[in-house]
Amino acid sequence: MTNCEIIEKTTAFVKAELRHAEGGHDWWHIERVCKNARTIAKTEHVNDFIVELGALVHDIGDHKFANGDESAGIMRVRTFLSAASADRQVIDHVEKIMANISFNGGNIAREFFTPELAVVQDADRLDAIGAIGIARAFNYGGFKGREMYHPSVKPAFGMTPEQYNNSKAPTINHFYEKLLLLKDRMNTETGRKMAEQRHRFMECYLEQFFREWVGD
């Protein structure tokens, strides 16, 4: 099976897997991440096939929707790509991208890092900020039944992955605990440049949010 055929089959696989996904982690999120990844990859020395596969499958079995089990999605992707006759080294690389892409509080020492992971991670993080990122944050907060904002609940920093993933804090806190941190944690120069305007948009949004909250 050619690489193009594997990508085509993987696209159909991901669409089927995410057909009932929450709106911030659905097929349209994957499509946006793939577009971002292609743009960034043009300026990096990477294996485009692995970047495309990694972007396509990065949210399969996301631990947020799998009771914290980070291995379930990886196993499904391994089974699928093996059946699609993908090279073993390619499958291993894609699995490691899936296992290492998440923010998880931002305090985890890297155990694996490649230029392909750098591109896919930046592409995913770009979709977490800016106008789309704001929409995704509140969509997920509503999905989880969280408050938009509570003045007495302050953002928490230095959380462990377990604390971060189990947090029930208001959605506004998420901006300070993750979203506003991403611009300076981009891996690639292109990713950093793409993040700047989206970051500024979030800052302007928060200024307006708090003006309206207190009553201007």
pLDDT, one tens digit per residue, over 42-79 is 999 999 999 999 999 999 976 565 555 678 889 999 99
Helix (H, G, I), strand (E, B) or coil at 123: helix
pLDDT, one tens digit per residue, over 111-163 is 789 999 999 999 999 999 999 999 999 999 999 999 999 999 999 888 887 88
Q: Please provide the distance, in angstroms rounded to a whole number, between the alpha carbons at the two ends of the chain.
A: 61
Out of 12-16, 52-56, 75-79, 100-104, pick the least confident: 100-104
- Rounded to two decimals, the pTM is 0.93
Q: Determine the pLDDT at residue 205.
A: 98
Cα-based angle 66, 117, 177 (whole degrees, multiple of 5): 60
Beta carbons within 8 Å of 191's beta carbon, 6+ residues apart: 40, 118, 119, 122, 123, 125, 126
CA distance 185 to 181: 7
188 neighbors 44 (Cβ within 8 angstroms)? yes
Burial class (CB in 10 A: 0-12, 13-18, 19+), 99: middle
Q: Determine the pLDDT at residue 66.
A: 54
Domains of the chain: 3-214 (1.10.3210.50)
